[in-house]
Structure 1
Amino acid sequence: MGQSATVAETMHAAVLGSPIAHSKSPDMHRALYEHLDLPIDYDRIEVTLDQAADFMASLPQRYGSTQRLVGFSVTMPLKNALVPHMTTLSERVERLGVLNTVVFDESGQTRGYNTDVDGIRLALMQAGYQPSRGGTMAILGAGGTATAAVAAAADMGLDAVVLYVRNAQRAAEASAVATRFGLAVEIKSLPEFVQESPTHQAVVATLPAHAADSLAEHLPHAPLPPLLEVIYDPWPTALAQAWRATGSAVASGMDMLLYQGVEQAKLFTHRLVDPECVDWQDATQRMAKALGLVKQ
């Protein structure tokens, strides 16, 4: 399958976070590495915020050598906490201040990446977003995923974001990120989104489960832009159902999980396979199947 070198021993990867038992990342990563015939195992490791520094320091003892590590997928609450522990950072992470991927090189050094941005962009494209010159992305919420959505808006050719939030003070970080990516930014109250929803080129909802239910009841009966709601359990949400009822396209958190995972897998395998020899469309389908999704 295009291996660039013979791998004599098992390599290691894992998803880190807390709680982690529900994570579906092992399903899709294991399916891919089995398909590529790569000796990479992939585990779930419970790591709390307080344990982050000790965990990173323990890696040589835990694995014998960090040279046997290919990478970690990183979920909450560690996306900020692991940034100071990286040897180097991608330009994207330097601007965001948040990572979701740790990659180990041949010498065991670490580099932080953020593929959540790719997951958002690709999920919206799957839902019908067309590349644009200008326009706005609506972002519901202002947490860590909202900052990734800001970066995705820049990647997608948009020139502004509107943050619809329950507490304007919490939007300060996402607003600062927008400025660093050269985007205009407005902060508005969450209820204002309902009437303004048709005016955007794309919408990303990052709110907790049921937090957007009240919005669903009042959506205009008009064509709406592609929506990515980053929740995948419970699914579909009230907002997703109401959005679809207008005939408009919706992507779920499972779609985002898939596409960010594909980009992670490219990073994890780059020193074990020739990427030009991997059919990544087929790889995506295999990972989607492992998640219970069907992709064309």
Structure 2
Amino acid sequence: MSDEPTSAAAANARAPRPKPAKAEPAEESLDAVENGVSEASAEELIADLVEAERAREAEEEAIAEAAEAADEEEPLEDEEPTPASTASRRLAVLGSPIGHSKSPALHRAAYAALGLDWSYDQLDVSEDGLSAFLDGLGEEWRGLSLTMPLKQTVIPLLTETDRVAEQTGVANTVLLDGDDISGFNTDVAGIVRALSAAGLEQARYVHVLGGGATAASALVAAAELGAERVDVHVRDLQKSVWLEPLAHRLGLMIRLRSFAQADRSLDVPQLVISTLPGGASTEALYTDSTRRKAVLLDVAYDPWPSVLASSWQAVGGRVVSGLAMLAQQALLQVRIFVSGDVLQPLPDEEGVLEAMLAAVGIDAEGAPVGDGSVEGEAE
């Protein structure tokens, strides 16, 4: 027998096995890059990164634009305030009679200096007609200045008052804002500022001549100047008793006395404030010594100098014109009409005040400049 295996199984065992067919490389494998990421995947990744960068840049640009817009709408704290509205607005001074008023000259000069196209007129309005006048005002109206005899009449017609108007029961300024009719008293600050400009910062003992609405403002001004005592000299004592409760609330010792008793004390006042209407006669007579020592503020300025002011000037006494007070209180009214806040200074306020003083021909101390003519009446 042959030693060679003859079975099919043996034959198959001896036969060489065929090599497996080599697989065709996949398309992705052909595009492979060194880091194992396909070019297609890399392109998609790059596109995503570019899109994300564009989105980030767009977001940053939008934030920057929003911040810039906010800066334009809301000024920084140290920037000058701007008026709530630069549109043309109407204002006026009311009173009866009113033809003498210097308020239009003062206010028009102020708004011109501020670059505001606002009108300011003078209108004759009586006490009986004030309520109807206020009811008939349109949205173009921004504010009113009030003079005699409206400063007390207006109080019950107001929706709100500032502290000084509430304290005195007197408002000489009305701010109109929608349905709100707000009242302010700028006379007190006008007195204090005018005296300060003339060099008087303090007065322990004060005389007030007259018992009307301006006398109440004079009492509060005296308290702000540090007064302890105030003598109020009037023609009718009974009509002036309403001032006593105000003086007591202010911590002032008050005496109501007749004009004839104006200078019958050994104690000389540092300040005399006359609130009498222009041209009014008075029995209040002061000695030469008192007129040399005491400062006189005469709120009336027509005719000027008044008899009282002339008597002070004749002995070299210091006199402050009511026109200086009018200008100072008008400046505060302009603050209110422009910003709604009596404490908010105006842009270039010093320049505005200079324009106002020039418009009525006085210097910072109330002394006439130019031809020296000053016409008008207490407001």
Q: Please give the range of the TM-score, normalised by the shorter of the 2 chains.
A: 0.7 to 0.9
Partner of 2:112: 34
**Structure-to-structure mapping, 1:226-245, within 5 angstroms:** 226-245=295-314
Residues in 1 aligned to 2:356 and 2:278: alpha-carbon distance in whole angstroms? 25
**Structure 1 pair 8–165 and aligned structure 2 pair: CA distance change class (3 A):** closer
Partner of 2:102: 24
2:353 match: secondary structure: helix
Amino acid at match of 2:158: M
Residues in 2 aligned to 1:53 and 1:208: alpha-carbon distance in whole angstroms? 25
Residues in 2 aligned to 1:211 and 1:45: alpha-carbon distance in whole angstroms? 24
1:111 match: secondary structure: strand
**Structure 1 pair 197–232 and aligned structure 2 pair: CA distance change class (3 A):** farther
Superposed CA RMSD:
2.4
**Kept after mapping to 2: 8 A contact 1:138/1:161:** yes
1:50 match: secondary structure: coil
Higher relative contact order (CA 8 A, sep 6+): 1
Amino acid at match of 1:162: D
Look at both structures and tell me which one has the larger radius of gyration over its CA atoms.
Answer: 2
**Structure 1 pair 158–173 and aligned structure 2 pair: CA distance change class (3 A):** same
Q: Pick from 165, 168, 171 the counterpart of residue 93 of structure 1.
A: 165
Partner of 2:319: 250
The C-alpha deviation readout for 1:126-149, integer Å capped at 9, x for no partner, is 3331335xx221001111111110
2:128 match: secondary structure: helix
The C-alpha deviation readout for 1:80-106, integer Å capped at 9, x for no partner, is 11111111111111121110000123x
2:188 match: secondary structure: helix
Residues in 1 aligned to 2:309 and 2:266: alpha-carbon distance in whole angstroms? 13
Q: Pick from 122, 135, 139 the counterpart of residue 57 of structure 1.
A: 135
**Kept after mapping to 2: 8 A contact 1:195/1:220:** no
Amino acid at match of 2:130: A
Residues in 2 aligned to 1:125 and 1:197: alpha-carbon distance in whole angstroms? 26
Residues in 1 aligned to 2:183 and 2:356: alpha-carbon distance in whole angstroms? 23
Residues in 2 aligned to 1:41 and 1:2: alpha-carbon distance in whole angstroms? 23
**Structure-to-structure mapping, 1:1-296, within 5 angstroms:** 2=80, 4=82, 7=85, 9-59=87-137, 63=138, 65=139, 68-105=140-177, 107-132=178-203, 135-196=204-265, 199-212=268-281, 214-216=283-285, 219-221=287-289, 223-270=292-339, 275=344, 278-295=347-364
Amino acid at match of 1:159: E
**Structure 1 pair 79–289 and aligned structure 2 pair: CA distance change class (3 A):** same
Residues in 2 aligned to 1:244 and 1:252: alpha-carbon distance in whole angstroms? 12
Q: CA deviation at 1:5?
A: 5.8
Residues in 2 aligned to 1:207 and 1:8: alpha-carbon distance in whole angstroms? 38
| Gaps in structure 1 of 5+ consecutive residues | none
Amino acid at match of 2:106: M
**Structure 1 pair 3–197 and aligned structure 2 pair: CA distance change class (3 A):** farther
Residues in 2 aligned to 1:277 and 1:142: alpha-carbon distance in whole angstroms? 34
Residues in 2 aligned to 1:190 and 1:224: alpha-carbon distance in whole angstroms? 19
**Kept after mapping to 1: 8 A contact 2:206/2:269:** yes
Residues in 1 aligned to 2:274 and 2:337: alpha-carbon distance in whole angstroms? 29
The C-alpha deviation readout for 1:145-186, integer Å capped at 9, x for no partner, is 111101111111212211112221122122222122221111
Amino acid at match of 2:180: Q
Aligned residues: 285
| Gaps in structure 2 of 5+ consecutive residues | 1-78, 366-379
1:239 match: secondary structure: helix
Percent identical among aligned pairs is 35
**Structure 1 pair 5–228 and aligned structure 2 pair: CA distance change class (3 A):** closer
Q: CA deviation at 1:229?
A: 0.8
